[in-house]
Structure 1
Amino acid sequence: MSPTILAAILSVGVSAIATEVDSPQTQASIAVPANPDNETFAPLTPIAQIPDNSGDSSDKILEQINHYSNEPNALDQVTNVSQLRDVSPGDWAYEALRSLVERYGCIAGYPDGTYRGNRAMTRYEFAAGLNACLQQIERLIAGTNGVDGGDLETLQRLIQEFEAELATLGARVDNLEGRVAFLEDNQFSTTTKLSGEVIFGLAGVAAGEDVNGDDIDNVTIFGHRTRLELNTSFTGEDVLRTRLQAEGLGSLTEQTITPEGDLFFAGATDSDVVVDALLYDFPLGENTRVVLDANAGASDDFASTVNPFLDGDGGSGALSRFGTRHSIYYYLDGAGIGINHAFGDKLELSAGYLASEAADPGDDTGIFNGPYGALAQILFKPSDRLNIGLTYIHAYNRDTDTGSQLSNFRSFTEDAIGNAVPTSSNSYGVELSWQLSDRFALGGWVGYTQTTTLSTLGGQIDRGDLDIWNWAVSLAFPDLGKEGNVAGILVGMEPKVTDSSVNIPGIDTEDEDTSLHIEAFYQYQLTDNIAITPGIIWLTAPDHDNDNEDIVIGAIRTTFSF
């Protein structure tokens, strides 16, 4: 049915086409298409030709009404037909539109001053327009101008024709009013949304030797990571995020004595509640966002890690720290600032600076004198399915807590000679995520880091450089077996020192062999709020040393989100 017909009909006896639907976000228009043949239509014949949908279920009718009620273009009421710049006196329905505008004020136009008369109209839109114009006519009746009897007679016929749709629309309004009243009475806050995530983790080392060649005790651990997150918005476009966290699952590094294979969601065992994240994210113009991290910031707060199916921040995706995201991103941690700017849909630039001891006023600490990491990244997005990242990170006195002991050189020297050697590093990375189909995605990365020692520690070591490489290839299978499920396989090399000019008497500062990290997991979405993820991690030649027996780690992660 054409809205032009409607305009002509209502101009004869009903001028009841209101184009506004009470909605806090959008309004819908009943538009009038052009009639190139200048045909004349009987007032009510077209309505009689439309099939009766009164037998449809109320859910279907509500779905249709909801569809047109959420159109993206808001409309402005017009008081003169000349305000509609795409309507001219030569249009066949011009007089009908003029009558509706001037007599009853039941026509609205789009913000650009057009009426868009060539758009089709559904019965549901007609019902909504009729309902809105009924309210206008009620106001006219109550006023001094009144409405003539012919209009009222035609209006009565229209009310009977659309009785089912009008009744459904009224019921929906009543329902929405009831829901709004309930939310106002029971809402947590008018500006803040509360969400949470609880991880139950069961893990253990099934076989292997630690880096010292000793058998690893077969100890199974069970614990949790619990998060409560408060997201507050003051303008509707900004976010103040406060996250409380308690950890109760220890790191497997205590058994393996190497950061390789450690779980992302493992950490402290005391279950103390701490402010794990505190940041303010706000827009700066249309395409730029600024993130101020006050505590426990990370690179993914303002930059994409280009690994959507594996990087679930520990709650979903890969189980291990290495498998979750490219290791060089871990050089950033703490407080600072991040900026993200989008150049259209195809290019994105991110930059940020985070200091891990920013709040400490002691010597060699603070936001500029202590450990820090600075990131610059260009993200190319040729399509929605293909993302390519080029990343540069400069860091001072920072380790990744992945890979071999030597690749975390500052921590290594602290354990080996009792003093942590100060270091600076420059890292370069390429990341790829390519969703080849709805059920298959290819991902991976390669990274190079040059770490430079900045002190001899009183002659204990010779200054020099370490070349550190890492890479990974991942396969992801979204919706495998059920919508929301994800299966993943990752093969890679955790950070390895391939060349070193640093000399420490009695200690080899280069990893001679190559260890592979092989990880597989299957995330089963039990419900919308509960997911169970069993997985296995296999480390060949742990700590990049063929003298060590392979390590096999098993884990089951259950994630509750609300």
Structure 2
Amino acid sequence: MLKILCNYVLISPAILGATLAIALVGMPASQAEEVSATPEVQSDASSILEQINRYNNQKPQNSLSQVTSVSQLRDVQPTDWAFQALQSLVERYGCIEGYPDRTYRGNRAMTRYEFAAGLNSCLNRIQELIGTIRPDISAEDLERIRRLQEEFRAELTTLRGRVDALEARTARLEAQQFSTTTKLAGEAIFAVAGIAKGDNAFGGDIDNQPIFGDRVRLNFETSFSGRDRLRTRLQAGNLGAFSATSTLTPEGDLSFAGGPFEESGNNNIVLDELSYTFPIGKRTEVVIGANATGSDSFADTLNVLDGDGGSGALSRFGTRHGIYYLADGAGIGLRHELNDNIEISLGYQGTSVNNPSDGNGLFGGPYGALAQAVFKTGGLKFGLTYVHSYNRDMGTGSRVANLRSYLAANQPLAGDNDLPISSNSYGVEFSWQLARNFVLGGWAGYSNTRTLSTLGGQINRGSLDIFNGAVTLGFPDLGKKGNMGGIIVGIEPIADASSALSNDLFNAGLGGDDDDASYHIEGFYQIQVSDNISITPGVIWLTAPDHNANNEDVIIGTIRTTFSF
């Protein structure tokens, strides 16, 4: 493309001279000067024709249909603003071409082939005219053409050198690039965090030592068609969850740290996600996840503050409605737009689908099946979400609301600590952009969880009713472009157990029901230092931690620095 453009520029003086020559055709004979048939004049004319012939040898093979009258073009009307120009080019010079269906398509972008075809037609016509009128061209006109060529010779030489240098650099980059189909994208988080004050879930004091940690992600994004994406993500981190070390409850856990009750990862490199996304038609997208693919890969979480830990909200609770954490792992998801206003998402994901042993596999192990409908109109989005899950917790809220995860991590009971559960969860989410810099959002959810077996004879079958909700305020581009302010106020998942189960939980040292409401209040301000660096200070305030009014409020502070490339 660059060579064609350069050649075109190089012959521009010739085209200009030819145009001047064409203009002479319409002059009266009295105004036309006799041509001096000197060798110099003949040489100049031959040089011009030689440049045109040299370009003609590069013409495309499949030219479009020649037009002899503008009336042949079905989509060109006399009222069009360019009608007179087209009429002149067609009828005076005969160098306009149309498509085989007799259309000109003047409002669409022109491809390089179409440009070459049209230019070639005009060059051929100019060559014919010059050959016809050469005896009538004056030496003075040819001298003007030569002066124009001399005047722009330095600029054209410089342009040719720059094009050649650019082509050499492009060739070197193509030879040295990592892959023709794969791009590398990365994100590194450095975070300082600490708990200023408060009690843990058991009413004990929390050590207030500040910590410094990281989370690093490398995404290899591969596309084979331009519309699909194979994502291979490597991740390492060393930040453990506060629920495992300090607060002993998933309330307030940071989104860029380990999962609930997970201790430090010691920066071990793991394959965090392996997924393939591809379209079916124009309105359907399919995601196949082979490892640790979240439901947010195919379902809209309807939260402007959802940055998956690297940006936006600082806590797991503030990042998205906990109902989305129930569907995670390997599986398949689908997103389909019924029209511009309604979107449907469906998905099934499990965490032990690669294990053929009893109680695991594609359908026997922990899984989540999600269905969601999102309705959109203007700046308002409204979602209805349903998730059926087995042996999965939301990872936010109290210990009782995350009963299975807590028992598996802490083993408070003698014997087997694997409590099978089944849940049906329902959620309502919305996001409403009221102004350019203000988005109101939130969610409300209800889950009914049943225990499917007794645990060591100490926890009987029963049910848990789990509720949660939040209101979010997002302030995109607050202060300057790229900044983000956010406020989250809500109640993390709180559990109400059936009477028999409540007594068993109390006897097991879990306190029974969550009798008191704990409020989650979070605020942050993300400062976009540059295109690749952001710094986000923020505070999380938990009243009555673990939904227990006897516990002193917890205040968590953090400063997150995110490097992206």
Q: CA deviation at 1:461?
A: 2.6
Give the SS at the match of 2:423. strand
CA distance in 1 between partners of 2:108 and 2:418 (Å): 73
Instruction: Report whether the alignment pairs 1:324 with 2:319.
Output: yes
Instruction: Indicate the residue corresponding to 1:548 in structure 2.
Output: 551
Describe the superposition over 1:356-415 as per-residue Cα deviations: whole angstroms up to 9, x where unpaired.
1111222201111000001000111112x2211111001000011110000012124443
CA distance in 2 between partners of 1:294 and 1:15 (Å): 68
Structure 1 residues 478 and 88: CA distance shift in structure 2, 3 A? closer
Instruction: Report whether the alignment pairs 1:462 with 2:460.
Output: yes
Instruction: Report whether the alignment pairs 1:80 with 2:37.
Output: no
Q: CA deviation at 1:201?
A: 1.0
Q: What one-letter code is carried by the residue in structure 2 that aligns with 1:372?
A: Y
CA distance in 1 between partners of 2:452 and 2:400 (Å): 16
Instruction: Indicate the residue corresponding to 1:198 in structure 2.
Output: 188
Which aligned pairs between 1:2-13 and structure 2 lie closer than 5 A? none
Q: What one-letter code is carried by the residue in structure 2 that aligns with 1:450?
A: N
Q: CA deviation at 1:487?
A: 0.8
Give the SS at the match of 2:220. strand
Give the SS at the match of 2:369. strand
Check the 8 A contact 2:188/2:564 in 1, yes or no.
yes
Instruction: Report whether the alignment pairs 1:398 with 2:392.
Output: yes
Give the SS at the match of 1:271. coil
Q: What one-letter code is carried by the residue in structure 1 that aligns with 2:420?
A: P
Q: Output the TM-score relative to the length of structure 1.
A: 0.77
Q: CA deviation at 1:100?
A: 7.4
Structure 1 residues 108 and 257: CA distance shift in structure 2, 3 A? same
Instruction: Indicate the residue corresponding to 1:494 in structure 2.
Output: 492
Structure 1 residues 132 and 482: CA distance shift in structure 2, 3 A? farther
Instruction: Report whether the alignment pairs 1:232 with 2:227.
Output: no
Instruction: Indicate the residue corresponding to 2:55 in structure 1.
Output: none
Describe the superposition over 1:135-173 as per-residue Cα deviations: whole angstroms up to 9, x where unpaired.
66667789999675489979x98x979989x97998996
Describe the superposition over 1:40-79 as per-residue Cα deviations: whole angstroms up to 9, x where unpaired.
xx999xxxxxxxxxxxxxxxxxxxxxxxxxxxxxx99433
Give the SS at the match of 1:256. coil
Check the 8 A contact 2:344/2:371 in 1, yes or no.
yes
Structure 1 residues 137 and 175: CA distance shift in structure 2, 3 A? farther
CA distance in 2 between partners of 1:222 and 1:541 (Å): 26
Instruction: Indicate the residue corresponding to 2:423 in structure 1.
Output: 425
Instruction: Indicate the residue corresponding to 2:274 in structure 1.
Output: 278
Give the SS at the match of 2:307. coil
Check the 8 A contact 1:204/1:555 in 2, yes or no.
yes
Check the 8 A contact 2:64/2:117 in 1, yes or no.
no
Describe the superposition over 1:306-349 as per-residue Cα deviations: whole angstroms up to 9, x where unpaired.
112x1101000011110100011110111000001012221111
Give the SS at the match of 2:90. helix
Check the 8 A contact 2:473/2:487 in 1, yes or no.
yes
CA distance in 1 between partners of 2:488 and 2:224 (Å): 41
Instruction: Indicate the residue corresponding to 2:365 in structure 1.
Output: 370
Instruction: Indicate the residue corresponding to 2:46 in structure 1.
Output: none
Q: Output the TM-score relative to the length of structure 2.
A: 0.76
CA distance in 2 between partners of 1:420 and 1:468 (Å): 20
Task: Give the total of aligned pairs.
Answer: 486
Instruction: Indicate the residue corresponding to 2:90 in structure 1.
Output: 98
Q: What one-letter code is carried by the residue in structure 2 that aligns with 1:536?
A: V
Percent identity, please. 53
Give the SS at the match of 2:335. strand
Give the SS at the match of 1:446. strand
Q: CA deviation at 1:296?
A: 0.6
CA RMSD of superposed structures (Å): 4.0
Instruction: Indicate the residue corresponding to 2:434 in structure 1.
Output: 436
2:512 to 495, 500, 509: 509
Instruction: Indicate the residue corresponding to 1:344 in structure 2.
Output: 339
Q: CA deviation at 1:270?
A: 1.4
Structure 1 residues 108 and 145: CA distance shift in structure 2, 3 A? farther
Check the 8 A contact 2:462/2:498 in 1, yes or no.
yes
1:520 to 520, 523, 526: 523
Check the 8 A contact 1:434/1:442 in 2, yes or no.
yes
Instruction: Report whether the alignment pairs 1:380 with 2:375.
Output: yes
Describe the superposition over 1:180-204 as per-residue Cα deviations: whole angstroms up to 9, x where unpaired.
3353244221101111000001111
Check the 8 A contact 1:347/1:380 in 2, yes or no.
yes
Q: What one-letter code is carried by the residue in structure 2 that aligns with 1:541?
A: A
Structure 1 residues 186 and 545: CA distance shift in structure 2, 3 A? same
Q: What one-letter code is carried by the residue in structure 2 that aligns with 1:478?
A: P
Q: What one-letter code is carried by the residue in structure 2 that aligns with 1:245?
A: Q
Structure 1 residues 145 and 424: CA distance shift in structure 2, 3 A? farther
Instruction: Indicate the residue corresponding to 2:232 in structure 1.
Output: 242
Structure 1 residues 225 and 14: CA distance shift in structure 2, 3 A? same
2:254 to 257, 263, 282: 263
Check the 8 A contact 1:428/1:449 in 2, yes or no.
yes
Describe the superposition over 1:449-480 as per-residue Cα deviations: whole angstroms up to 9, x where unpaired.
11011112364333222110000111111111
Instruction: Report whether the alignment pairs 1:358 with 2:353.
Output: yes
Describe the superposition over 1:239-280 as per-residue Cα deviations: whole angstroms up to 9, x where unpaired.
110011111112111111000000011123311111110000
Which aligned pairs between 1:109-148 and structure 2 lie closer than 5 A? 114-115=103-104
CA distance in 1 between partners of 2:412 and 2:445 (Å): 26
Q: Return the index of the structure with the highest Cα Rg.
A: 2
Q: What one-letter code is carried by the residue in structure 2 that aligns with 1:212?
A: F
Give the SS at the match of 2:199. coil
Structure with a larger share of its residues in helix: 2
Which aligned pairs between 1:292-307 and structure 2 lie closer than 5 A? 292-307=288-303
Give the SS at the match of 1:442. strand
Deviates more, 1:481-490 or 1:129-138: 129-138
2:287 to 283, 286, 291: 291
CA distance in 1 between partners of 2:322 and 2:428 (Å): 12
Structure 1 residues 428 and 142: CA distance shift in structure 2, 3 A? same
Deviates more, 1:183-192 or 1:436-445: 183-192
Q: What one-letter code is carried by the residue in structure 1 that aligns with 2:374?
A: L
Q: What one-letter code is carried by the residue in structure 2 that aligns with 1:557?
A: R
Give the SS at the match of 1:328. helix
CA distance in 1 between partners of 2:78 and 2:498 (Å): 84
Structure 1 residues 550 and 112: CA distance shift in structure 2, 3 A? farther
Q: What one-letter code is carried by the residue in structure 2 that aligns with 1:486?
A: M
Q: CA deviation at 1:498?
A: 3.2
Check the 8 A contact 1:205/1:552 in 2, yes or no.
yes
